[in-house]
Amino acid sequence: MDEHLLLEELDVSDFIKLNIKCIHFLSYFPLDDEKSLFKRTCQLIYGILFVGFVYALCVSSEIVNMLVVFGDIEKMTEASFVLLTNLSHSLKLYVFIKHGSEIRNLIKSINREEFKPRNLVQYKMLVKDIKMSKLLTKIFLFMCCVTCLLWAVFPLLDRKSGERIRLPLSGWYPFKIDKPPVFELIYAYQIFATCINGLRNISMDTFLSGSIMVIAGQLGILNNSLQIMGQYYKNKMTDEDQGNQEKFRKILVRNVIHYKNIIQ
């Protein structure tokens, strides 16, 4: 492939594309404001039903359970872990929803022309960083799934002979859950909801880390551009050569513009 075409075709937004897809699927706030009204309405309904079912009900159950067992240190400790995790998750959801337009603008601006690599060295630097960003996201998502799987299996293994299976997580429900098939449904619901909430939580965290990696990658290629500019000045600049002076000025201006785009 032609080198120029290779550089132009690199999609810098690949840093966070996987995170965006996860947030689109797992959350009720769209990251694309160019959708039609019908699609945005469907997205909102999907979010209210899906996220409300797997998140709001889950958190409500944990809060009421904490109030019910209040005073019992052992049970409060057991109930606090997932509850505090989900409450911190609520703050992240609030921030993402509140700053939704800014996040959408950030996503759109990542693939700007100034961020494209200018040579094969910069291309390889960005490709390496993109692979690392994707790898980190996949590792954390995988670890979340494994953790939820262990939560699902552990109650089946951690019981004495003749002892009844307990739920993976503590929670309060306004009906009896000790008889089938209600117990099995609540058991499956807890694992499903915990997995979805964990994946959404990780998607938001890795979205921010991916955005930081975009900045780090751009600082890396800006550093390479400055080194090339310094070498050009050292080898080709003379007081009499107006052509090289003009070319050096253009390179300098381009690097300044690149720097201003990174800061923005």
What distance in Å separates the CA atoms of residue 21 and residue 209, rounded to the nearest whole number?
15
pLDDT tens for each residue of 124-144: 999 999 999 999 999 999 999
- Judge if the upstream peptide bond of residue 181 is cis by omega within 30 degrees of 0: yes
pLDDT tens for each residue of 182-238: 889 999 998 988 888 888 889 989 999 999 999 999 999 999 999 988 888 777 766
pLDDT value at residue 238: 62
What distance in Å separates the CA atoms of residue 168 and residue 154, rounded to the nearest whole number?
7
Locate the domains of the chain by residue range: 3-216
DSSP state of 49: H
Task: Please give the model's pTM, rounded to 2 decimal places.
Answer: 0.83
Angle at 54 between CA 48 and CA 55, to 5 degrees: 80
Which whole number is the average pLDDT over 56-79?
86
